[in-house]
Structure 1
Amino acid sequence: MSTMDKQLYDYMIANLTAISDKWLTLRDEKRGSIYSLEAGESAEALLREQNRLTNLTVTSILLNDKHLFETNKEEWAREVAESRINSNTSVPEVLGALSKARQTYWSFIEEFAKSKGKEVTSDDLLRWGTSIHLAFDELYIHFSEMYYKIMNSRLAVQQSLIEELSFPIIQLNGTIGVLPLIGNIDTFRGEGFLDYIPAKCVELDVTHLFIDLSGVSEIDTMVVQQINPFMQVLKLLGINSTLTGIRPEIAQTSVQLGLEFSHFDTYNSLQQALSELYPLTLDKNQNK
């Protein structure tokens, strides 16, 4: 690290508050944005704290310590990405704010260079320009990656919750499960049905699944065609399956499509199926 680099580093560290102050003056009055002048004191305090972290991260590159810069960059990207996702701020909006942060940061380097006069050479300016702009470019990239990663993680959790609510498997005992389907089952929901249920049965150690269709008001033709292979998948996994509560219109659709369910157990109602196959289990649940 050269003497002039050290002086610049000390100057930028000493002016962290001033850099953030100047950056905050660039906010506009766009309503509904965390970057808006109308966002309030708490938003301003958060932005000030995070801009300080931005400037600390960029300034650390002057120390020629790659590990330190990478550590700071990781902390910065995670904190800012989580914060912007929580405030429903888009990636383009964040990158726009970062662009203003870059301009503000560089203006302080220009002020430092002017104050030093001829002590700062063209080589110094070229070196600083290369390293500082590279640092900001890396922040752009890593923020976008972190934002995408966190969003995907949250969406996966939400999707899992949707599947659990859409296809609730109720365990009557350790190995008997009931899947009460309610409402309209279209192709989109049917895909989740096929992807989710077999894996969930294995996870819950279900060996016999009762699929109750009595609450289904309408079922997509494509889904009806998948019932047979779906039950075969369960069978290959060692899981017996029984259809109950098939409505007349669904039965008619199955016949019209030439679907054959004779090799699967079907019952008029869930209670009828349980009373015949697991009478003791039904009695225990009714007495609870």
Structure 2
Amino acid sequence: MIGKKIEESKLEIAKNILSNEFEYETELKLSEEIVQLCADAILIGQIDAENRITKWARETGEYAVNYGSELDVLLKNTSHFRQAIWNVIEEASMENNLSIKTVFEVSRIIDPLIDQAVYAFSTAYVASYRSSLSHAQEVFLELSVPVVPILEGVAVLPIVGDIDTHRASLLMETALRQSTEKSLTHLYIDLSGVTIVDTMVANNIFSIIYSLQLLGVKGILSGIRPEVAQTMIHLGIDFSSIQTHSTLKQALAKHILN
């Protein structure tokens, strides 16, 4: 009786728990689906009910991230959903004079399902959000290491900001790939936008220069700031084996004159 009442009231319940975080028709459909899943668990038993509601919650969590919905707003709406379900249970109990035992039996089905839905939804939302954020960071990093052709066989790789291990790996990969694809003979690596150079950064720059040499590409450094140069000296970093210029303009002027 309770399951049937929930099923008959699913549209009403769904309308009462809308968060306005999704497109109306989509959210109404998703809300009806979870109400139906709860009704089914009572009507036809709990076999596979947890798996079905977990599947619904994960798909909804991923959809929420793609749609740009806020997690806190959606989780806040959970209490409204639980309350709406229990209002229907109360109504069905009074109409049919159901025993307290029956109501408790229903609660042992409904409450764990709702808890599982919230858990699965939250974990799916967070996982999908992290994945989207990671992808956005990868795209940003790729855009932050452009190899810009300026003359036949000559290009500039301007580096701006700090260089960590991940970015250093991307710099290496981009420099080697682009040098090959663009048939470069010279690659000017401009460090004027780099404010901090430590031993790790210096070693990474060395690695890029020497790897370019293996491809027949001459790597040339420019734009080393005075304070960065002083830091490098204090660290005992030796760039004497690499061609360097104080500015990119100076480096390119020398290349053109030669």
Question: TM-score by structure 1 length?
Answer: 0.67
Shift of 1:158: 0.8
Deviates more, 1:60-69 or 1:124-133: 60-69
State the percentage of identical aligned residues: 14
1:8 aligns with 2:12: no
The letter for the 2-side match of 1:219 is: V
Structure 2 counterpart of 1:260: 238
Higher RCO, 1 vs 2 (CA within 8 Å, ≥6 residues apart): 2
The letter for the 2-side match of 1:212 is: I
Q: Are the aligned partners of 2:189 and 2:220 in contact in 1 as well (CA < 8 Å)? A: yes
Shift of 1:99: 1.0
What's the secondary structure of 1:213's corresponding residue? strand
User: Aligned partners of 1:129 and 1:271: how far apart in 2?
Assistant: 80
Write the deviation string for residues 35-74 of structure 1: whole angstroms up to 9, x where unpaired.
Answer: 6xxxxxx854443222212212333333335435423432
Change (3 A) 1:81 1:103: farther
Structure 2 counterpart of 1:165: 143
Root-mean-square deviation (Å): 3.6
Structure 2 counterpart of 1:73: 54
The letter for the 2-side match of 1:106 is: W
1:126 aligns with 2:101: no
Change (3 A) 1:61 1:233: farther
1:190 to 157, 160, 163: 163
Q: Are the aligned partners of 2:41 and 2:109 in contact in 1 as well (CA < 8 Å)? A: yes
1:213 to 190, 194, 212: 190
Change (3 A) 1:111 1:219: same
1:242 to 215, 219, 226: 219
Gaps of 5+ in 2: none
Alignment of 1:2-151 (within 5 A): 7-23=1-17, 34=20, 43-62=23-42, 63-67=44-48, 69-83=50-64, 86-89=67-70, 91-117=71-97, 120-151=98-129
Gaps of 5+ in 1: 1-6, 28-33, 36-41, 277-288
The letter for the 2-side match of 1:74 is: K
The letter for the 2-side match of 1:48 is: L
Question: TM-score by structure 2 length?
Answer: 0.74
Change (3 A) 1:164 1:150: same
